Amino acid sequence: MNPRTRLAMVSLACLAGLACSPQDPADSGSTSDQASPVSSEDDRTDVHSYARPAEVAVRHLDLDLDVDFESHRLRGTATLDLTRHGNVSEVVLDARDLTIESVQANGSDLQWSLGESKPYLGAPLTVQLPDGADRISIRYATDPAAAALQWLAPEQTAGGEHPFLLSQSQAILARTWVPCQDTPAVRFTYSATLRVPPGLLALMSAENPAEPSTDGVYSFEMPQPIPSYLLAIAAGDLEFRSLGERAGVYAEPPLADAAAYEFEDTSEMIDAVEALYGPYRWGRYDLLVLPPSFPFGGMENPRLTFLTPTVIAGDKSLVALIAHELAHSWSGNLVTNATWDDFWLNEGFTVYLEQRIMEALRGKEYADMLALLGRQDLKSTIDDLPAEDTHLHLSLAGRDPDEGMTDIAYEKGRFFLRMIEEQVGRERFDTFLQNWFESHAFQSVTTAQFVDYLEENLIAGDKELAEKLQVEAWVYGPGLPQNAPRVESRAFTEVAAQMASWLSGRARIADLEANDWTTHEWLHFLRGLPEDLDAEQMRELDQQFNLTSTGNSEILHAWLHHVIARNYEPGYQALEDFLTGMGRRKFLKPLYERMAKDEQMKQRAAAIYAQARPGYHAVSTATIDEILGWTGES
Ligand code: BES
Ligand code: ZN
């Protein structure tokens, strides 16, 4: 079962030399002929944006917005500073479901037009630029159904008293709340003023306040240039807890203590990555624990990682996720995929870094358990996907970039880097990666650029090494090449042995030495259980280990698969509570998919979904609607 849903550095100076983006991203190509290893300028074309940054590029954004919880709208102005490359007379921005009221420069109205809106891409917003108009102000409002934003009623929060607003811009949802060049190839700095109801704390992916203001007005500054998908906003009843000199966590008051305990190791993680890959370049690193509807485990918004509360297990057992989001401060936020076809440069590198951080904090055995779980995920993803979608370099033209969010980018990417590390030795590879981040900092890079850099700086004409690495096969070929690293875990082998004795009747349930199992050993156990356990075995397991009532979201998720597969009724209430109580797509998707396989279960799924759907973020409903063939109104 694939737990993740389907879903390059070019500096502006480089981009300026290219004439690339097509007028209509939706029409820009078939998917079949793009597996060519040839490095070409076309690699830089972002087929998921209408913007033509080679002509005019946004260099700074200033937002001035009212956050209106009554109408579920942001309303105000986005002022864009533009750099023109040559003699151009218009700028094209991305906009989806935005109401544009006016566009001005130097106090005068400019001509603008919105083109036809397409599914997931939205519409091109074209603004005529007279001479000297290098700063344009767009007055606009968002739609209540803006896909990036979720407006929560008080009862959908932990505190229950105040409303909450959260955003999710990756991959191409920033255009639903800010008119911008919504492509990872463009970076800009930003500043913002937000007005929220007094009493609420407003936060962004920027320098943030630690305390609520009395008048509800907040100012933000992001002095480092970032791509649009890292724009983020949140507002709610939030408290701050320090986690050291440069780290902290914001959470709703009822969760603040638990969050501060769970994420205690954050500063140590920052030190660990810095020791490996160079200085943290973003100032502070804070976490924001969101209400349970947040559709992802985490999102690496710069200076402020957004997190699901389902990562708070009480025993720090799921904090590899913090390591992951922190690692993006190097792989992703500092060195960014230039297009969504290069997504593995963000996620594969990040999973590799995450593994190194966890190894530094918890040791190799621990990190190898994580790697082995990832290896299992990768295997089922490769089995499920058409071969052409298992290349590291993707071909997402004509599709929502969300479809690239599979274990290929994450896990095949990780094992590619791990394989290189094993072939050249850790020391040499660490230096190589550190140089890669350093030399491409604040740039957006293509897969071809990485491959060239690897050839020049690591392979460097060593034919034998090139033969061993098989770079082409990994990057532009299907599946998992033969030289993929083998991962072993003694702990997992032991878990499997115990399970085998129990299943064969050689041992009784009470003989399982599971009391000291870590979360990851439990996950290995639950994933390895046959789907045809009998009712008695399900009951035995549950009685012995209280699986139905576990507070660990990952363990519960793995257990609920068996609850569904075996029609284990004592688990139904927990299944329903889980599906209605949180909106994390990685958990929702496989459970609804499993339920949809059986007609009776599918009906149950539809009933649960009808109840849960209004509480989910648009990112999750887009996926689950499809699984259940949902046609009801939203
Ligand atoms: N950047 C991703 C989340 C994302 C990717 C959102 C693509 C939208 C489009 C984030 O870093 C991530 O990978 N989150 C994972 C966590 C993980 C692999 C530890 C998640 O949410 O499951
Ligand atoms: Zn990630």
Q: pLDDT category, 632, cuts 50, 70, 90?
A: confident
Q: Which of 55, 300, 325, 411 is catalytic?
A: 325
Fold of 490-628: 1.25.40
Q: By mean pLDDT, which of 14-28, 132-146, 310-324 is the weakest?
A: 14-28
Active site residue 410: yes
b/e burial code for range 458-476 (CB count within 10 A of at least 16 → b):
bbeeeeeebebbbbebbbb
321 Cβ below 6 A of ligand 1: yes
Domain map (residue ranges) of the chain: 58-237, 335-476, 490-628
Between CA 73 and CA 193 the distance in angstroms is 15
CB atoms within 10 A of CB 569: 10
Q: Which ligand is nearest to the CA of 3?
A: 1
CA of 297 to the centre of ligand 1 (A): 6
Q: What integer best gives the mean pLDDT of the chain?
A: 93
Tens digits of per-residue pLDDT, 136-173?
999 999 999 999 999 999 999 999 999 999 999 999 99
**How buried is residue 45: exposed, middle or buried, by Cβ count under 10 Å (0-12/13-18/19+)?**
buried
Q: What is the pLDDT of residue 531?
A: 87
Tens digits of per-residue pLDDT, 533-562?
999 999 999 999 999 999 999 999 999 999
Task: Show the tokens assigned to 475.
Answer: 């990057």
Active site residue 218: no
CATH code of domain 335-476: 1.10.390.10
Cα separations in angstroms, 435 against 281, 432, 456, 601, 617? 15, 5, 12, 53, 39
Q: Which residue has the tokens 């396989």?
A: 597
Most ligand 1 atoms within 8 A of CB, residue of 167, 296, 396 to mutate: 296
**Type of residue numbered 108:** S
Q: Which ligand is nearest to the CA of 320?
A: 1
311 Cβ below 6 A of ligand 1: no
Assign 3-class secondary structure to 199-267: CCEEEECCECCCCCCCCCEEEEEEEEEECHHHCCEEEECCEEEECCCCEEEEECHHHHHHHHHHCCCHH
b/e burial code for range 500-516 (CB count within 10 A of at least 16 → b):
eebeeeebeeeebebee
CA of 312 to the centre of ligand 2 (A): 18
Annotate 102-163 with DSSP letters as a single string: EEEETTEE--EEE---BTTTBEEEEEE--TT--EEEEEEE--TT-TTEEEE-GGGSSSSSS-
Angle between helix 266-277 and 343-362 (nearest 10): 110
CATH code of domain 58-237: 2.60.40.1730
Of ligand 1's listed atoms, the one at least distance from the Cα of 300 is 11
CA of 58 to the centre of ligand 2 (A): 25
Per the model's pLDDT, the better-predicted residue between 546 and 29 turns out to be 546
pLDDT at 311 over 60: yes
Q: pLDDT category, 16, cuts 50, 70, 90?
A: very low
CA of 406 to the centre of ligand 1 (A): 10
Contacts for 367 with CB less than 8 Å, ≥ 6 apart: 355, 356, 358, 359
Please give the biggest Cα pair distance in the chain. 84
Q: pLDDT category, 633, cuts 50, 70, 90?
A: low
Q: What is the pLDDT of residue 5?
A: 34
CA of 128 to the centre of ligand 2 (A): 37
Between CA 203 and CA 304 the distance in angstroms is 8
Most ligand 1 atoms within 8 A of CB, residue of 347, 378, 519, 620 to mutate: 347
Q: What is the pLDDT of residue 364?
A: 97
Of ligand 1's listed atoms, the one at least distance from the Cα of 324 is 19
356 Cβ below 6 A of ligand 1: no
Of ligand 1's listed atoms, the one at least distance from the Cα of 320 is 19
Closest by CA position to 99, among listed 120, 119, 122, 81: 122
171 Cβ below 6 A of ligand 1: yes
Q: Which of 140, 410, 568, 592 is catalytic?
A: 410
Q: By mean pLDDT, which of 2-6, 386-390, 460-464 is the weakest?
A: 2-6
Task: Show the tokens assigned to 444.
Answer: 């957006």
542 Cβ below 6 A of ligand 1: no
CA of 374 to the centre of ligand 1 (A): 14
273-277 contacts, C-beta under 8 A, 24 or more apart:
273/326, 273/327, 273/329, 273/330, 273/353, 273/356, 273/357, 275/360, 276/353, 276/356, 276/360, 276/430, 276/433, 276/434, 277/330, 277/353, 277/430, 277/433, 277/434, 277/437
187 Cβ below 6 A of ligand 1: no
Of ligand 1's listed atoms, the one at least distance from the Cα of 354 is 19
Tens digits of per-residue pLDDT, 98-108?
999 999 999 99
